[in-house]
Amino acid sequence: MLAILTVIAPIFALMAFGYGAVRFRLFPADGIKGLIAFVNNFATPCLLFHSLLTSDFSSAFNIAIIGPFYIGALACFALGIVIALKAFGNRPGEAVSVAFSGTFTNTVLVGLPIMQRAYGVDALPVVLSIIGLHGAILLTSGMVTIELMRRDGASLGKTLLVAGKRVGSNPLIWGIAAGLIGYFSGLTLIEPADAFFRMMAQAVVPAALFGIGGALNEFKLSENWKQALIASIIKLIVHPAIAYVLMIWVLHVPMEIARYGILLSAMPAGVNVYVFATYYNRGVSVAANAILIGTVASAVTVSGWLYILSL
C-alpha cells in the first residue's frame, strides 16, 4: 500500500497544486488553456514521436492488449447509452453524449503521467500503441452513433468525413505518424535533436497534471451529477474490469504486460468528452461533471487498480 501511495501521491499533488493555484488566483485561469494547448499540441506530440522512434514498436503493438481495451470501451459505450435511455429517460442524441462521457479515456493529461510514474518508460510503447488508435476509433464511433440516433443527424458519409478531419487535424496523430515513419525508415536523431525531443517530453508530466488540475476549476457540479457519477463508475471500474477479464482470463496475457492496458483503461474521462458534448450541444453538463467527478474519484480507483495489478 505504501508503494501505491508513493506512486499516486505526487500525481494528485500536482493536480491539487494546479487547482489551488487557479482557485486562489496565483495562476491565471486563461493561462491553463494555453498550458493544456502546449501539452496537447507540442510537448506530447514530441513525446510520441521520440518514444516511437526509439522503442521496439513492432513488439509493442499487441492485439491481445489493444483489442480488449477497445472492446471494453465500446461495450461501456453501449452500456452507457442503454442506461441513459432507460434509467434517465434521455433523448437518443443526449444518451449518446452521456455515454461518451463514460467511454473516452484521458490518455494524455492523466494517463501518460500515471503510467510513467507507475511502470516507467517500459510501459510507453504499449501505451502509445493504444493512444495512436484512441481518437480514431472512439471519436468516429461516437460521432457516427449520435448522427444515426438523433433526428436531425447528418448522413453517414458526411459524418465520416467530419470525423476524419477531426482525427487528422490532431497534433497527437501527427506525432505518432512521424514517429512511425521515422521508426520504419531507420531514422536516427543527432544529439542536439535527440536532446530537444527529450526535453520536450520531460515537460509533459508536470505541465499536464498542473493543467488538468487548474482546468477542474471550470467544472461545477450541476443537477445532472447522478448521470455523471454513473458514467464515471463505468469509466473507472467497468471498463478496466472488462479489459482485465479479457486480457487475463480469456487471452492469458502475462500480467506484467497486461497491466499496462488495464491501468490505462482505468483513467478518468478526458476533456474530449466535453468537446464532443458542446459540439453537438447534447449532455454538456453531464460531460463537465464526469470530468470533475471522474478525475477526483480516480485518486481512489486508480489506487485500487494498482493494488489489484500488484503495482
pLDDT in the model for residue 215 = 92
d(CA 147, CA 2): 47
Q: What are phi and psi of 105, to 5 degrees?
A: -85, 145
**To which H or E segment does residue 58 belong?**
helix 57-60
pLDDT in the model for residue 133 = 87
Report the candidate in 236, 255, 256, 209 with the shortest Cα–Cα distance to residue 303: 236
pLDDT in the model for residue 294 = 96
d(CA 121, CA 116): 6
pLDDT in the model for residue 275 = 87
Quote the crossing angle between the two packed helices 284-308 and 225-233, to the nearest 10°.
30
Confidence (pTM) = 0.88
Report the candidate in 231, 202, 55 with the shortest Cα–Cα distance to residue 127: 55
Task: Name residues of the chain where pLDDT drops below 50.
Answer: none
Provide the greatest CA pair distance for the chain: 59
Yes or no: say if 268 and 291 are a contact pair by the CB < 8 Å rule.
yes
Task: Pull the grid cell for residue 18.
Answer: 494546479
pLDDT in the model for residue 152 = 62
pLDDT in the model for residue 311 = 59
Yes or no: say if 247 and 65 are a contact pair by the CB < 8 Å rule.
yes
Q: Which amino acid type is present at position 293? A: I
